[in-house]
Structure 1
Amino acid sequence: MILSDLLVQARAQLDDTALPTLWSDPDVTGWLNEAIDEVCLRRRGILDSTTPSICSLAITPYVQRYHLDPTILKVERVRLGSNPVPLKKFTMGLMDDRVEYWDFPYRAGPPQFWFSDQDNKDHLVLVVVPFPNIADTMALSVWRMPLDCEYLKAPKDTPPMPFYLHRGLTDWVEYRAYDRKDAETYDPARSDRAYKRFEDRYGKRPSADALKLMGENALRGVQPQYF
């Protein structure tokens, strides 16, 4: 669906088709963009392996930690440019338990494993093991939030997620519209019903702790091979 279609659907759902409308197009468009953010948080709506600024990292010899774009929620796959076989996904805890001195640069070599960590601002950091001993590149597959250029602005813009996730976006618009403290439009019961429909379709919003665990792959690991 494109923005103009979603605006028509939203107006019909809001019973707001007569002029002058109760809610402006900028307001409804803003709520649609909020809904896109919510879907990405609840359903990991954007899987990306091709955007160079997001999915390609240069490896520097003897550098083990790489800061990721802040739009990334979770790294799914990592592959070196020099090797068609993806690196093995891991966790810091399992590295500590099973591989001695994995974070010592004197054990440098071709990276075999990766895991996600966070910096002091809670931004995701990709860690490769062992320390790389040559320059290379990494190709990533990630789940991410929208880029600024992907939000709905022009009439023919389309949400940056699979088509089957589009139609329910207007439930979020209805929730936000009737939750506004306005004597003419405030209807908390209708707002709650719209929110429940949105939640039933896309799932509950994860907590900050749940998002952190997802980003760090904290619940998953594989058996390592010593290097």
Structure 2
Amino acid sequence: MLADDLLALFRSDVVDTAAPYLWSDTEVWGYMNDAYRMFVRRIGGIPDTSSALTRLVLAPGQPTSAVSPLILRFRSAYLLSDGTELKIVNEAGLPTLTTSDYGQLNTQRRSLLQGKVTHMVTGMDRNAARGLVRWVRIPDRADTVQLSVQRLPLDTVEPGFEFGEIGEEHHEHLMLWMKARAYGKQDAECFDRGRRDEYTQQFNAYCAQAKAEWNRYKSHSMSVAYGGL
């Protein structure tokens, strides 16, 4: 479904098809974009191992690298040069992170040592450094890190947009959040607390159902071994 079709369907459902509109096109496009991103956020993000934001450049002597704020979760990371998998650790877990060097345990919390990168540290101060990850150790050579992530949509909804990153079965259900936003508009002709809350609950329930279905799809099926004749 094209975004233009969803806009027309929204106007038909809320009976706002003649100008002057209760909700301007600018407002409706904003509601649609928010609904798209909110749906993806609620189901845990879009799996990605191939877009540009999944590759990070390691620069010698640089302790951090910039990452996209669209990333919701880091699933794995490895060095492209030799395939070494990096351990992903949250900033809060660093005090307990140690490495063994010839039998001696060394803390890695504020390691200034340069060498081969072994860990990617996430969860730094989100207000100041949401778009950064830190390396342990500080890289001593140039390399590239390949990520597997869960992320928000790459593109903004606009006329002609196709919702290619989510299944077509979800497209019309984005209207639930669009209606919740529309009826929450602080305007005497638009605001309707009951409808806003109703559509919010319906959207939340649909997202929970979609996430549960996705989790079942991802889960490993039990293998069954059959004996020969």
TM-score normalized by the length of structure 1: 0.74
User: What letter is aligned with 2:172?
Assistant: R
Query: Cα deviation per residue 1:52-83 (whole Å; 9 max; x = unaligned)?
Result: 2x222211223332232233333222121112
1:20 Cα deviation from its structure 2 partner: 5.8
In structure 2, what is the equivalent of residue 186 of structure 1? 191
1:170 Cα deviation from its structure 2 partner: 0.5
Question: Could you tell me the percent identity over the aligned residues?
Answer: 29
1:193 Cα deviation from its structure 2 partner: 0.7
Structure 1 unaligned blocks of 5 or more: 204-227
Contact 1:7 1:28 in 2 (8 A): yes
Equivalent residue for 2:146, pick from 122, 139, 142: 139
In structure 2, what is the equivalent of residue 176 of structure 1? 181
> Closer, same or farther in 2 for the Cα pair 1:185/1:131, shift >3 Å?
closer
> Closer, same or farther in 2 for the Cα pair 1:23/1:83, shift >3 Å?
same
Query: Cα deviation per residue 1:2-61 (whole Å; 9 max; x = unaligned)?
Result: 202211331233133456654333321221011123224323333332222x22221122
Alignment of 1:113-132 (within 5 A): 113-119=119-125, 121-132=128-139
1:122 Cα deviation from its structure 2 partner: 4.2
Contact 2:97 2:107 in 1 (8 A): no
User: What letter is aligned with 1:71?
Assistant: L
Structure 2 unaligned blocks of 5 or more: 99-105, 209-229
Corresponding residue SS for 1:121: helix
2:201 is the alignment partner of 1:196: yes
Distance 1:51 1:185 in 2: 40
In structure 2, what is the equivalent of residue 50 of structure 1? 50
In structure 2, what is the equivalent of residue 215 of structure 1? none
In structure 2, what is the equivalent of residue 14 of structure 1? 14
Larger Rg: 2
Distance 2:7 2:164 in 1: 16
Distance 2:96 2:35 in 1: 41
TM-score normalized by the length of structure 2: 0.73
1:93 Cα deviation from its structure 2 partner: 4.6
**Higher relative strand content:** 2
In structure 2, what is the equivalent of residue 220 of structure 1? none
Q: State the 4+ residue runs in structure 1 displaced beyond 6 angstroms.
A: none
